[in-house]
Chains A and B, each alone.
Chain A
Amino acid sequence: MNVYECNENQFVENIRRLVDSNNKIIVNRRITLYDDQKYGLSTLPDKEFESYSMIAYRNGYKRTVYAKVPFIDEYHNHLYKENEVLHSSSNLLFPRLFIPYYKVEYSFNIWGNMYLHSFDLLFKSEIKLEKRKIRGNNLLVHVLRFIVPDERIMMLKLPEQVIILDVKKLTRIFE
């Protein structure tokens, strides 16, 4: 079986053409939550890094990121100290502070070939100053929260004639 990777434009248009030619299409959809150190602050584009600028600083893209102030990463239940390295430029593959994301995969099979489109959707950040009890003291501290993306933005809207099946795991069997 050949597996063809498509971008969104190609994937949607391929389905539209198949529907227009009266083919019945079943599309598999897999949405998986990951929290695996794939996305750290050093490799975020400048514009996106700005949303973390209250708690972190860096000298440029792919440069080491440091904590500007002490803060709590509520999602991972971790307290970072001021000037602690959050993502080192010498270890870009393994950030210490990382952003959770959903991996969205759409695929369909036709005439023995698989057509696949996938993308990652990153959680948004929200930073607030809150009172927290740290080592017995009530302190005002920055709290970082990761917000789940809107469910609708994870979807590819496909024609009504297309049947979408949600799946958990894709296993390829080669004979």
Chain B
Amino acid sequence: MIGFIILFTFIALIIVAFAALVQKKLEDSIILFMGIGLGSVILFFTFNAPDVALTEAVIGSGVSTFIFLTALKHLRSEQ
């Protein structure tokens, strides 16, 4: 069962990463980037590393998304 979970999550991660990079709208791209953080959390927890999973849950899907959204707000403010 563990092998199936790892395989499935890796396939989902690869699809989400490719979709995040080829989106036209930057907002969609940033929200899909958040999905990469969530998939990484599942994988880290499956790999018996709960400390790393906690860190990735806070940073990878929380603060990184905030940083990208703030950058988007600033980069569009004067157009």
Do A and B make up one complex? no
Seen from chain A, the residues whose Cβ lies within 8 Å of a Cβ on chain B are none
